[in-house]
């Protein structure tokens, strides 16, 4: 079973959704490439499920357009959209066995018994549940149920698969295992996938691109590595990975942290106050304060927490601001771990200086 040739792009534009007087999605536009694995990531209530439901056709938007392969589908009923969907809570039929759960969408589409049997077999094989067709759903583990839900979503060879937090009910190790399985399945089948999670690590592991949602809007959409290294807003920087924010000022084409001119690769932003986004792993302890080509930040050590493979050092800058440094416990690093109360110099390289608006 390969869906690659039937994968289609999705063009979402100008979507508005209100519940009563409350605006949930406002002027939301998003293009998903054919065969892309795109994740909607955002805090609870940011509108991820609502957008997925609009794509699937279960919720009607107040305005906007959704095109699949160039064809407008915004008024098309759900069963005509040819979209597979995996809900957060599996939504399997508990009174049916695995086979009949997976066969359900085929039955709805009046596929013959012989073809249904063949397709269900192939779907079971794909999700590695061969031989479990007769098993009742309530006799399966959480991960197995999740895979049944997935098999049911892909058995009718949909052009698009939507998944709403499909792994959130699973324990950590099964979740990580399923992340890799889902990713591999996507690679093999190539279906255009819109995936929802509020687990940033899951989003980073699985996605071609991530759209970060905040209060019904998309704040930034980029590849995971770009989103992490170059967040464009304070919200994105705070939501993906850990960050400390250091206030800086841009004037006359340079950026200043107190009386120090920052070395940075990017051009200086517009005149005024900004925030420097500092990731714990981008900060380092500088032994030689004469070192050039690095931004030096004098600080005082607060707590140092040893975590086996790595350590975390909380430090306070001269202005009283807290920053966090993390590094691996290589022998050379361990030999000179700072002690609480000790004055230190932190360094951040010019290429790692990222600024966002202070708001
Ligand atoms: N049927 C409804 N009637 C009124 N408000 C609703 C309805 N469905 C959702 N909302 C509201 O819309 C907003 C977005 O909800 P949505 O379920 O899309 O968020 P989400 O990003 O999926 O959140 P979560 O991560 O918690 O699943 C929330 O404030 C929610 O309360
Ligand atoms: Mg949701």
Express each pLDDT in 273-323 by its tens digit.
Answer: 999 999 999 999 988 878 778 999 999 999 999 998 999 999 999 889 999
Confidence of residue 147 (pLDDT cuts 50, 70, 90): confident
Residue 115: which pLDDT band, with cuts at 50, 70 and 90?
A: very high
Q: Are residues 134 and 26 in the same domain?
A: yes
End position of a domain, from candidates 215, 234, 253: 234
Nearest residue (by CA) to ligand 1, atom 22, is: 49
Q: Does the pLDDT at position 43 exceed 60?
A: yes
User: Are 42 and 113 contained in the same domain?
Assistant: yes
CATH number at residue 83: 3.40.50.300
CA-nearest residue for atom 27, ligand 1, is 44
pLDDT over 80 at 90, yes or no: no
Measured from the alpha carbon of residue 48, the closest ligand is 1
DSSP, res 110: T
pLDDT at 5 > cutoff 60: no
Closest atom of ligand 1 relative to the 213 alpha carbon: 21
Shared domain check, 257 and 190: no
On the question of pLDDT at 18 being above 70, the answer is yes
Say yes or no: 169 and 314 in one domain.
no
Residue 107 shares a structural domain with residue 185: yes
Which of 207, 234, 261 finishes a domain? 234
pLDDT band at 1 (very low <50, low <70, confident <90, very high): very low
Nearest-angstrom CA–CA distance, 340 and 354 = 28
Instruction: Report pLDDT for 3.
Output: 46
Ligand index nearest the alpha carbon of residue 43: 1
305: Cβ–Cβ under 8 A, 6 or more apart, which residues? Answer: 311, 312, 313, 314
Bridge pairing between strands 354-357 and 160-164: unpaired
The reply to whether 306 falls in a domain is yes
Same domain, 301 and 230: no
Sign of CA dihedral 175, 181, 184, 189: negative
Cα of 301 to ligand 1 centre, how many Å? Answer: 43
Q: Are residues 257 and 169 in the same domain?
A: no
Residues with CB under 6 Å of ligand 1 are 19, 24, 42, 44-50, 198
The residue whose CA has the least distance to atom 6 of ligand 1 is: 19
Nearest to 285 by CA among 358, 343, 230, 359: 343
pLDDT reading at 72 higher than 50: yes
Q: Whose CA is nearest to atom 30 of ligand 1?
A: 45
Domain that holds residue 125: 4-234
* Rounded (10°) angle between helices 113-126 and 172-189: 120
Residues 97-116, mean pLDDT to the nearest whole number: 94
Average pLDDT, the chain: 91
Based on the fold, state whether residues 58 and 180 are members of the same structural domain.
yes
- Report whether pLDDT(2) > 80: no
Reported confidence tier of residue 167, pLDDT bands at 50, 70, 90: confident
Cα gap 302→322, rounded to integer Å? 9
Looking at the 3D structure of the chain, how many domains does it have?
2
- Regarding whether 308 and 190 lie in a shared domain, the answer is no
**Has residue 38 been placed in a domain?**
yes
Which atom of ligand 1 has the smallest separation from the CA of 46?
21
Per-residue pLDDT tens digits for 44-59: 999 999 999 999 999 9
Both structure tokens of 208: 């071609």
Q: Whose CA is nearest to atom 16 of ligand 1?
A: 47
Q: Per-residue pLDDT tens for 213-255?
A: 999 999 999 999 999 999 999 999 999 999 999 999 999 999 9
DSSP strand pairing (10-19 vs 63-68): antiparallel
- Return the best residue to mutate from 46, 53, 167, 214 for the ligand 1 pocket (most ligand atoms within 8 A of CB): 46
Pick the closest to residue 155 from 117, 118, 119, 192 (CA basis): 119
Co-location of 230 and 250 in the same domain: no
Cα dihedral sign for 52, 53, 59, 60? positive
**Burial class for 197, CB neighbours closer than 10 Å (0-12, 13-18, 19+):** buried
């Amino acid at each position: 079973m390969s869906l690659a040739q039937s994968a289609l792009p999705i063009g979402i534009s100008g979507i508005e959704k209100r519940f009563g007087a409350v605006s949930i999605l406002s002027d939301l536009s998003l293009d998903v490439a054919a065969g892309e694995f795109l994740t909607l990531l955002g805090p609870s209530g940011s509108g991820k499920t609502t957008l997925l439901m609009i794509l699937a056709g279960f919720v009607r938007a107040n305005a906007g357009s959704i095109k699949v392969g160039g064809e407008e589908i915004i008024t098309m009923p759900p069963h005509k959209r040819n979209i597979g969907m995996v809900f957060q809570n599996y939504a399997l039929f508990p009174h049916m066995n695995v086979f009949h759960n997976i066969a359900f969408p085929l039955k709805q589409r009046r596929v013959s018994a012989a073809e249904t049997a063949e397709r269900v077999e192939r779907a079971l094989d794909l999700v590695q549940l061969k031989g479990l067709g007769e098993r009742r759903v309530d006799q399966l583990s959480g991960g197995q149920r999740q895979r049944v839900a997935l098999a049911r979503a892909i058995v009718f060879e949909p052009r698009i698969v939507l998944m709403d937090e499909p792994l959130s009910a699973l324990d950590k190790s099964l979740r990580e295992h399923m992340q890799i399985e889902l990713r591999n399945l996507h690679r093999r089948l190539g279906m255009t996938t819109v995936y929802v999670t509020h687990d940033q690590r899951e989003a980073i592991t699985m996605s071609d691109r991530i759209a970060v949602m905040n209060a019904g809007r998309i704040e930034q959409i980029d590849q995971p590595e770009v989103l992490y290294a170059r967040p464009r807003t304070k919200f994105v920087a705070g939501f993906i990975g850990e960050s400390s924010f250091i206030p800086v000022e841009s004037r006359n084409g340079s950026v200043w942290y107190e009386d120090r001119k920052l070395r940075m690769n990017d051009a200086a932003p517009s005149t005024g106050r900004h925030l420097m986004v500092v990731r714990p792993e981008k900060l380092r302890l500088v032994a030689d304060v004469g070192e050039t080509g690095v931004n030096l930040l004098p600080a005082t050590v607060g707590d140092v927490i040893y975590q086996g493979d790595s350590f975390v050092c909380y430090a306070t800058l001269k202005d009283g601001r807290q920053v966090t440094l993390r590094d691996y416990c290589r022998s050379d690093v361990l030999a000179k771990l700072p002690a609480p109360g000790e004055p230190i110099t932190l360094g951040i390289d010019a290429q790692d200086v990222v600024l966002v608006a202070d708001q």
